[in-house]
């Protein structure tokens, strides 16, 4: 399998998006987020997404040259319209706007509508934490669209109505880095089912039900019209309904997933140095705990990703052969040469 240093694959993706009609700054921003996800070990939201994004540009879904604009604004809130440009850039824009607002007004809420795939949510939580800003993002609104992405049954229901309506929660953790947790409100994502399907493995109980609403561990029951179940039963269901109301009722009739960004300036409550000291003192207590059965150590929220990034930024990003083939095709389609991309592995 080819292995690439992060800067080289980033340059390649930036070139591909730019060649497909994306302004250079947006192309670079999107490429950074994808490479960051791959470095952090979240391959599902990593560099392989270039294939999907270029297909979506070709199909007319993503408007590569669109820039977000602000359609409603006060000192503490805004609604950003993504104009169906790159969602990663649009949500980054909304988060930056929220961070700017909390500097002046302590707290802010920024909505994002009319956008496309927004990438890995942890990315935004980390950006905010680095700016001493608390961040919560919730995404919802698919219930108002066609069936695409509606995979999750409500708690106690036998049909797919909800999307995986995800959240991110982030705060700084002093010397321990950003404390960020992002998750789907379903028990698992559909991507995991694909992996189990490929490996012909039974699913864990509580992940899916069949089309009649019977619990199942057979992945084929999902693809025959079954549904993902909410995480933690009624709790995940409640979070999903909350996100859906934000996306489809508060931010308007959704044609896409809509997003709500909530931000808070830490220094409005306490001096940042004091916050950091107290955060570190709490986090230190977690670090010294003996591991439970099956674990090597207690990790912070976001620590597995940080560990992966440390390793992969040295060793490079491994891309499975098949994935690299489809990436090459997509990239060549927009007129970018990949011949110069000899991987470290191929060289050695």
| Contact set for its own copies, span 159-178 (CB under 8 A) | 159, 161, 169-171, 173
Minimum separation from the CB atom of position 261 to its own copies (A): 11
Tokens coding 52: 């999907």
Q: What is the DSSP letter of 152?
A: B
Which secondary structure element, helix H or strand E, spans residue 109, and what is its range?
strand 107-113
111 touches its own copies by CB under 8 A: yes
Residues 225-264 that bind its own copies (CB under 8 A): 231-232, 234-239, 241-242, 244-246, 248-253, 262, 264
- Tell me the per-residue interface mask from 67 to 96 with its own copies, x by CB under 8 A, - otherwise: -----x-xxxx-x-----------------
Of 91 and 336, nearer to its own copies (C-beta) is 91
Question: How many positions of this chain bind its own copies (CB under 8 A)?
Answer: 81
Of 7 and 215, nearer to its own copies (C-beta) is 215
Minimum separation from the CB atom of position 163 to its own copies (A): 12
| Cα distance between residue 255 and residue 324, in whole Å | 32
Residues 29-58 that bind its own copies (CB under 8 A): none
| Cα distance between residue 110 and residue 98, in whole Å | 6
Of 35 and 231, nearer to its own copies (C-beta) is 231
Q: Given candidates 58, 282, 307, 315, which one binds its own copies under the rule CB under 8 A? A: 282
- Interface region with its own copies, contact rule CB under 8 A, candidates 88-96, 284-292, 305-313, 318-326: 284-292
Of 60 and 75, nearer to its own copies (C-beta) is 75
Of 85 and 230, nearer to its own copies (C-beta) is 230
Minimum separation from the CB atom of position 78 to its own copies (A): 10
Question: Residues near 189 by Cβ (< 8 Å), separated by ≥ 6?
Answer: 44, 164
- Interface region with its own copies, contact rule CB under 8 A, candidates 29-37, 269-277, 322-330, 331-339: 269-277
Q: In what order do the strands lie in the sheet with 178-183?
A: 69-73, 77-81, 107-113, 258-265, 133-140, 167-172, 178-183
Of 277 and 311, nearer to its own copies (C-beta) is 277
291 touches its own copies by CB under 8 A: yes
Residues 185-224 that bind its own copies (CB under 8 A): 187, 209, 212-215
Of 60 and 294, nearer to its own copies (C-beta) is 294
Minimum separation from the CB atom of position 118 to its own copies (A): 19
Count the neighbouring beta carbons within 10 Å of the beta carbon of residue 117.
Answer: 18
Q: What is the DSSP letter of 143?
A: G
Is 12:338 a contact under the CB 8 Å cutoff?
yes
Minimum separation from the CB atom of position 231 to its own copies (A): 5
Distances (CA, A) of 283 to 28, 183, 203, 276, 313: 34, 21, 34, 10, 26
Which secondary structure element, helix H or strand E, spans residue 11, and what is its range?
helix 6-19
Tokens coding 147: 């069936």
Range 280-284 contact pairs with CB under 8 angstroms and sequence separation of 24 or more: 280/173, 280/174, 280/175, 280/176, 283/173, 283/174, 283/176, 283/179
């Amino acid at each position: 399998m080819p292995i690439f240093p992060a800067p080289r694959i980033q340059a390649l993706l930036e070139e591909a998006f730019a060649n497909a009609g994306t302004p250079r700054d947006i192309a670079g921003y999107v490429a950074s987020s994808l490479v960051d996800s791959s470095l952090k070990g979240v391959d599902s939201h990593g560099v392989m997404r270039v294939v999907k994004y270029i297909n979506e540009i070709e199909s007319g879904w993503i408007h590569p040259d669109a820039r977000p604009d602000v359609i409603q604004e006060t000192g503490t809130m805004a609604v950003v319209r993504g104009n169906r440009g790159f969602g990663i850039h649009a949500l980054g824009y909304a988060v930056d706007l929220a961070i700017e607002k909390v500097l002046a007004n302590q707290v802010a809420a920024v909505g994002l509508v009319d956008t496309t795939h927004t990438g890995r949510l942890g990315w935004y939580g980390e950006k905010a934490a680095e700016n001493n800003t608390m961040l919560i993002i919730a995404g919802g609104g698919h219930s108002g669209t066609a069936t695409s992405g509606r995979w999750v049954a409500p708690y106690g229901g036998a049909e797919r109505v909800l999307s995986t309506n995800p959240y991110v929660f982030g705060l700084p953790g002093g010397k321990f880095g950003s404390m960020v947790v992002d998750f789907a409100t379903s028990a698992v994502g559909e991507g995991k089912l694909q992996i189990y399907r490929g490996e012909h493995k039974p699913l864990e109980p509580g992940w899916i039900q069949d089309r009649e609403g019977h619990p199942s561990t057979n992945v084929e029951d999902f693809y025959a019209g079954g549904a993902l179940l909410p995480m933690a039963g009624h709790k995940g269901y409640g979070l999903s309904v909350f996100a859906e109301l934000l996306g489809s009722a508060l931010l308007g009739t959704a044609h896409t997933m809509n997003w709500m960004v909530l931000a808070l300036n830490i220094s409005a409550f306490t001096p940042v140095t004091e916050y950091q000291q107290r955060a570190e003192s709490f986090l230190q207590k977690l670090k010294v705990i003996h591991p439970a059965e099956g674990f090597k150590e207690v990790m912070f929220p976001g620590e597995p990703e940080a560990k992966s990034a440390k390793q992969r930024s040295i060793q490079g990003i491994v891309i499975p052969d098949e994935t690299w083939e489809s990436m090459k095709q997509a990239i060549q389609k927009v007129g970018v040469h990949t011949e110069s991309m000899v991987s470290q592995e191929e060289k050695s």
